[in-house]
A and B are shown apart, each in its own frame.
Chain A
Amino acid sequence: MNNCSQGTKVTARNVNVWYGDNHAIKDVSVDISDRMVTAFIGPSGCGKSTFLRCLNRMNDTIPTCRVEGELCLDGEDIHDARVDPVELRARVGMVFQKPNPFPKSIYENVAYGPRIHGLARSRAELDEIVEKSLRRAALWDEVKDRLQAPGTGLSGGQQQRLCIARAVATGPEVLLMDEPASALDPIATAQIEELIDELGRSIAVVIVTHSMQQAARVSQRTAFFHLGNLVEYGETDQIFTNPADSRTEAYITGRIG
C-alpha cells in the first residue's frame, strides 16, 4: 500500500526531480482535486512546468531526467512497473505552450488519439468523437465546414483549441496545460480561459501560467513554486488576497519573479 491519499485525483508525495545534477524539484507534495482547475504559478525556472510534466510522465523522454517520490492517479502509483506510460497519457492529457497540431487535417488531428487507442468501433463513432471534442474545445462552429483542411493552416488561437480538442478526444480524466495561452493574443486567451473554466467543471485541469491574473481568473486552487520548492498551496482567493508566505506575497505583488 502506498502513502497516496484516497479521494483526490492526483497525489504527489515528496517528489524530487533532477536534470543531471540540477535538483529541479525539491520535496513537493500536492493533492489535486477532481472537477477543479488548479494553477501552478511562479517565476521562470521555478520547476512548475517540470512538475506538470511529471504528472503524465512526459519527463521519461528526457534521458537525463530522474524523478523520485510518489505520484498517484486515483491512488495508483504512476511509476509502478506495471504502468504503461502510453495508457497513462491517454488518461492524463496534455496541452503544450506552443500550439503543435500535427501537419495533417483538422479531422485527423482530433481523430488520431481515439484511433490509436481504439476508442471508436466505426467511422460514424469516430466522427462523433471528433465533433464532440471540437465542440468541447469551442472550435466546431469555426471548422465544421473544413475538417479536411490542414490543422496548421488555422490561426494560433484556433490551433491551440485544436490541440485542446485533440487532448480531450481520448477522454482524459486530467488535463495538463503548460502555459496554453502564452503565445496567444488577448482575445484568443479569453477564449482559452473560458474553455479551461468549462473543462474544469467535468475533469481535473492543471494549468501552468506566468500570468497571475489568469491564475486568479480561472483556477480554484493555486500552487506557488519558487526555486524548485512548493512554497504555498491553497485556495486561489486566499493565495492572492492573504498569502501565508512572504515569498508568495513578494511574487504576487511583483517584487520577485
Chain B
Amino acid sequence: MSAPKKSLFTPGPRTRARNRAEARFRAFGLAAILAALAFLTGLMGIILHDGAPAFRQAFVTLTVELPEERLDPNGTRDPADLARVTTFKYAPLLDAALLRALEEAGAENPFAKAKKLRALLSKGAPAQLRARVLAEPELIGGSLTMRFLASARVDGYLKGRVTRESLARERKFTPAHLDVADALRAAGLLESRFNLAFLTGSDASESRPEAAGIGTAALGSLAMMLVVLALALPIGVAASVYLEEFAPQNRLTDLIEVNIANLAAVPSIVFGILGLALFIQFAGLPQSAPLVGGLVLTLMTLPTIIISTRAALRAVPPSIREAALGVGASRMQTVFHHVLPLAMPGILTGTIIGLAQALGETAPLLLIGMIGFVATNPPASPAEAFLAPNSAMPAQIYEWARRADPAWYERAWGGIILLIGFLLAMNLAAILLRRRFERRW
C-alpha cells in the first residue's frame, strides 16, 4: 500500500539535487563577487602605481648670480625697467649657475657650450627666476640659491621612465645629460621631492609637463559643482515635490514622468551640444566658462535628482501624510513639516550621487570648449572662477592623456587619483549625511 517509511537521516534524490543546485548558485555568486573585487583592486592598484609618481617631482637646487649690468642696466630698480628684461636674459644666468654647480661637484661639462646644459632644467625655469627677481628687486647684484624644476626628462630618469637606451634617438636631450644629472644628484643638488604645485598649479604648455598641475582645473570643477548644487537641488526638489504631492494624476503628468525618466538616459554629449546651442550661441554666455559647464551639468543632473527625490518621497509612509492631514495640516504643511524631513536622507544621497556623476563628466565639456590648453593661471576673483575660461578635472585628465610625451601620461594618472579622491569624499559625505538625517518611523 504505502511506500516504505524513509529515514529522516538520508535525504531523498530530489532534496540532494536541490541542495546541489543551491551550492552551485552560491559558488557562482561568490565567484562573481570575487571577480568584481579583483577588478576593483586591480584598477585601484594600477591607478595608484601609475599615478603616484605625479605627486613627486625632480628639482635642481642652484645658486644663481644676478649681475646688475644684465638685469638692471640703468641701476634704477624701477619695476617698469625690470619688467622689460625678458626671460632670454635670465636663461644664460642659469646656464652659468649649472656650469658652476657642475664644477663644484667635480664633474666636467661634456658639451662644447654651457647652453646645452639648459635641457636639464624645465623650460619654465628662467621665468621662475625672473618672477622671483621682479618680486624682490633687492636681490639684483647678489646671488640667489633657489630650487628649480628639472625638466621632464630628468624627472623621468629619476623615476626610471627615461633610460639611456630610450634617449638614443633624441637630439636635444642625450645620454650625456644623464651623466650630468648623475653628477648633480651625487652632489645632492638634484633630488625628487613632493610636488605641491601638482595639486595647486595650472595646466602648462605641451613642452613643460613638469610644470603642469591640476589645481586650476579642480577650481573649475568646484565652480561647476556649486552651480549644479545651487540650481539642480532646488529645481529638482521643487519639481519632485510638485509632481509627487500636488500634481493631478493625468495624461500630462504621466507624459512628464516618462520624459524625465528618458532624460536620465540621454547621452551626456547631447546635453553638451544643447548647452552649446542654448547657452553659448543663443544666450551669448562666455565660451569655456565654468558657469556654462555648470548649467549644462545641471540639465544633466536634474533627472537624476528628480528621480531619486521622488523615490524618497514615495518611500515616506502614506500614514504620515494622513496623520498630518487628519489634524488639519494643509498639504504644504504636510509636505514641509513631515514628508520632506523624512525624505531628506534619500534626497541628499540622490543629489550627491548626481553631483558625483556630473563631476566625472567629460563629454559635454568638449562641446562647450572646456577642454584643451585653457587656463594658465588660477582665477583671480570669485567672479572669474565662474566666468573666465577654465577646464575641469576630467577634461584636464583627458587633455593630458592625449598629449605625446609619456610625462603627460603620468600626470593624467595623477589627476585620476585626485578625481577619485574627490568622488570618494563626496560618497563619504553622502553616507554621513544619510546617517545624520536618518530617522525611524
A98 and B326 alpha carbons, distance in the complex (Å): 13
A52 CB to closest chain B CB (Å) equals 12
Task: Give B327's nearest chain A residue, CB to CB.
Answer: A113
Q: Hey, which chain A residues are within 8 Å of B337, CB to CB?
A: 112, 116
A163 CB to closest chain B CB (Å) equals 7
Q: Hey, which chain B residues are within 8 Å of A93, CB to CB?
A: 326-327
| Known contacts A90-B328, A117-B328; A63/B248 CB under 8 A | yes
Pairwise interchain contact B326-A86, C-beta atoms closer than 8 A: no
**Residue from the list B319, B324, B325 in contact with A98, Cβ < 8 A:** B319
B111 contacts A by Cβ under 8 Å: no
**Residue from the list B321, B325, B338 in contact with A89, Cβ < 8 A:** B325
B439 contacts A by Cβ under 8 Å: yes
Name B's interface SS.
helix
A166 contacts B by Cβ under 8 Å: yes
A134 CB to closest chain B CB (Å) equals 15
Pairwise interchain contact A170-B441, C-beta atoms closer than 8 A: no
B285 contacts A by Cβ under 8 Å: no
Q: Hey, which chain B residues are within 8 Å of A100, CB to CB?
A: 317, 319-320, 322-323
B37 contacts A by Cβ under 8 Å: no
A88 and B329 alpha carbons, distance in the complex (Å): 11
- List B300-341 residues whose CB lies under 8 Å from chain A: 317, 319-330, 333, 337-338
B342 contacts A by Cβ under 8 Å: yes
Pairwise interchain contact B330-A86, C-beta atoms closer than 8 A: yes
A93 and B324 alpha carbons, distance in the complex (Å): 11
B440 contacts A by Cβ under 8 Å: yes
B371 CB to closest chain A CB (Å) equals 48
Q: Hey, which chain A residues are within 8 Å of B330, CB to CB?
A: 86
Pairwise interchain contact B440-A152, C-beta atoms closer than 8 A: yes
| Known contacts A63-B249, A103-B342, A152-B440; A112/B322 CB under 8 A | no
Pairwise interchain contact B328-A101, C-beta atoms closer than 8 A: no
Pairwise interchain contact B326-A89, C-beta atoms closer than 8 A: yes
Chain A contact patch, size range: 20 to 34
Q: Hey, which chain A residues are within 8 Å of B321, CB to CB?
A: 61
Q: Hey, which chain B residues are within 8 Å of A169, CB to CB?
A: 327
B299 CB to closest chain A CB (Å) equals 31
- List A53-67 residues whose CB lies under 8 Å from chain B: 56, 58, 61, 63
User: 1/0 contact trace for A109-130 toward B, CB 8 Å?
Assistant: 0001100110000000000000
Pairwise interchain contact A56-B249, C-beta atoms closer than 8 A: no
Most buried by B among A61, A102, A152, A166: A102
A70 and B322 alpha carbons, distance in the complex (Å): 24
Q: Hey, which chain A residues are within 8 Å of B439, CB to CB?
A: 103
- List B241-267 residues whose CB lies under 8 Å from chain A: 248-249
Pairwise interchain contact B328-A96, C-beta atoms closer than 8 A: no
| Known contacts A103-B342, A152-B440; A58/B326 CB under 8 A | yes
A37 contacts B by Cβ under 8 Å: no
Pairwise interchain contact A166-B325, C-beta atoms closer than 8 A: no
| Known contacts A98-B319, A102-B338, A103-B342; A61/B440 CB under 8 A | no
A109 CB to closest chain B CB (Å) equals 9
A112 CB to closest chain B CB (Å) equals 6
A94 contacts B by Cβ under 8 Å: yes
A57 CB to closest chain B CB (Å) equals 9
Pairwise interchain contact B327-A90, C-beta atoms closer than 8 A: yes
User: 1/0 contact trace for B376-412 toward A, CB 8 Å?
Assistant: 0000000000000000000000000000000000000
Task: Give A98's nearest chain B residue, CB to CB.
Answer: B319
Task: Give B317's nearest chain A residue, CB to CB.
Answer: A100
Q: Report 16 cross-chain contacts, Cβ distance below 8 Å, ordered by A residue.
A: A61-B325, A63-B249, A86-B328, A90-B327, A90-B328, A96-B319, A96-B322, A96-B323, A102-B338, A112-B324, A112-B337, A116-B333, A152-B441, A166-B323, A166-B327, A169-B327
7 further A-B pairs in the complex, CB-CB below 8 A; given A112-B324, A116-B327: A58-B326, A63-B248, A89-B328, A113-B328, A116-B329, A117-B328, A167-B327
Question: Which residues of B are at the interface with A, using a C-beta cutoff of 8 A?
Answer: 248-249, 317, 319-330, 333, 337-338, 342, 439-441
